[in-house]
Amino acid sequence: MSARITRLLSVALIGACLTTTAFARSHPHGKAGASAGGGGSLIWRGDDATADGVVDEVAQAWESSGHGHVVMQPFNTASGLDAVSNGSADLAGSARPADGSAQNANLTFTPVAWDALVIITQASNPIRGLSLKQVHDIYYGKIHNWSEVGGRNAPIDVYAVASPGDGVEYSLRSLLFGRGNQPVAAPRLYVNTRKLQEGISLNPNGMGVATLTSIRGDAKLKAIPIDGKPATVANIADGSYPLFTTLYLVTNPNGRKAAQAQAFVDFMQTDPGKAALRRHAVLPYQDGRALVAMDDSRRDRILAEVGARARSGPRISAPGATYAARVAIAPTSPDTVAARMELERRRAAAADNARLSRVSGSVSDSTVSSVSHAHGSATTVSRTRGQAFGKVRANAGQTSTTYKVVKGDTLGSIAKRHDVEVTQLRKWNHLRDDQIKLGQTLLVSEH
């Protein structure tokens, strides 16, 4: 990776860590600073994909129709869900449905539009297309060079958003691997899709996932056709482009402005709302009803093509897997920063080891960096240009594993997540009962 790209990644991560809230984005119909949180205004926070594809255009139509102002705070999926859950935002945007986590339990996910997940690279990259199997194998760490898929002889630099709970990342992995929290071989991590796109625009060997609407009009990026089909609105509508996806608005029924937030969601189904979506080349959800009926067969067909199957339960290993399978909050939260510092401390302490405990076989010229949080450790195995990834096995080390309690956790949910018995957790942590505290560090493995 070039020095310029390295600086971009560092600035993106450090800058986001120093920022506690996303910058508000205003519309010409109102002033974000003056109306945020007051009067008839609504605060929206979420991933860039939903901001670009859905909310920007519809918010303007909403205001033009005489409704209140919408304050836009695009950042990432996890931050939006967290904000709506704790009441600091009224609406969230997500490119994935609820994932069954405690964070999503009290939220309502309403499908509002259809978009396309697109595999992107720099516009100068001569690659003309990829198959679903090739995309799967690149993310799984089996394919490392563009020449293996008909491109030039150059390494494939895979980019990803640091939180696997990110809506775009989660939806792609759900389609390719049968589970949204599948670890992948992506050593370059960004805080959100916008920063990921900026990174790839600087690297002709870069590759990552975004949405069609989020790269619309960006001459520096191109969407790679999949199985011979380019991502277009027409190919999304008839289902011929295989990686179509649903965009959601998320509300909290117990929120302070729940009724007004729901009114905005309902506005999506009106003629002005749907017209605003179509102007931005987004398919209104009602226009894609046929896609709902074909979704199950589409997923089965993709899994059959790539040689995978739908999975649930504990995470599995993958060659080049870069981080734990569950991250519930934004990668720049205080908990994540603390976890990353702890991992750096462990790395320094293990500097004398001849072999990394998480790597089977030897990996030369490798370094370990990470963005980690709560549900396990977030470890990236980086390789030098032209060398293959080592095969990284999740939970393969011989050291004990700890877990930091986050909001919504119970001893039972932690035990289930780490595939252990509650009685074992009590014994390892000398607990008299099932009571745990927010921020408490628990031993979840004795290996």
Look at strands 244-251 and 91-94 and give their pairing: antiparallel
In this structure, the answer to whether residues 102 and 251 fall within a common structural domain is: yes
DSSP 102: G
Residue 322 belongs to some domain of the structure: no
Burial-class residue 230 by CB neighbours within 10 Å (0-12, 13-18, 19+).
middle
Mean pLDDT of 158-187: 89
In this structure, the answer to whether residues 167 and 235 fall within a common structural domain is: yes
Tell me the CATH number at 137.
3.40.190.10
**Tokens read off for 247:** 């965009």
* pLDDT at residue 163 in the model: 76
Neighbours of 97 (CB within 10 A): 17
- What is the pTM (predicted TM-score) of this model? 0.64
The better pLDDT of the pair 414, 231 is held by: 231
218-260 pLDDT, tens digit per residue, is 999 999 999 999 999 999 999 999 999 999 999 999 999 999 9
In this structure, the answer to whether residues 136 and 222 fall within a common structural domain is: yes
* pLDDT at residue 435 in the model: 83
**Tokens read off for 23:** 């910058």
**Arithmetic mean of pLDDT over the chain:** 75
State how far the Cα of 332 lies from the Cα of 104, in Å rounded to an integer.
19
Helix (H) or strand (E) holding 445: strand 441-445
pLDDT exceeds 70 at position 196: yes
In this structure, the answer to whether residues 66 and 162 fall within a common structural domain is: no
Q: Which domain holds residue 206?
A: 116-241+302-306
pLDDT exceeds 80 at position 96: yes
Look at strands 91-94 and 367-369 and give their pairing: unpaired
pLDDT exceeds 60 at position 42: yes
State how far the Cα of 39 lies from the Cα of 52, in Å rounded to an integer.
25
**Whose CA is closest to 24, among 88, 87, 85, 86?**
88
Q: Please say whether the beta carbons of 122 and 200 come within 8 A.
A: yes
In this structure, the answer to whether residues 136 and 224 fall within a common structural domain is: yes
Mean pLDDT of 150-167: 90
In this structure, the answer to whether residues 39 and 186 fall within a common structural domain is: no
**Tokens read off for 177:** 């691997």
State how far the Cα of 332 lies from the Cα of 334, in Å rounded to an integer.
7
* Domains in the chain, number: 3
Q: Please say whether the beta carbons of 140 and 233 come within 8 A.
A: no
Beta-sheet strands, E only, within 95-198: 108-122, 157-161, 188-190
Residue 317 belongs to some domain of the structure: no
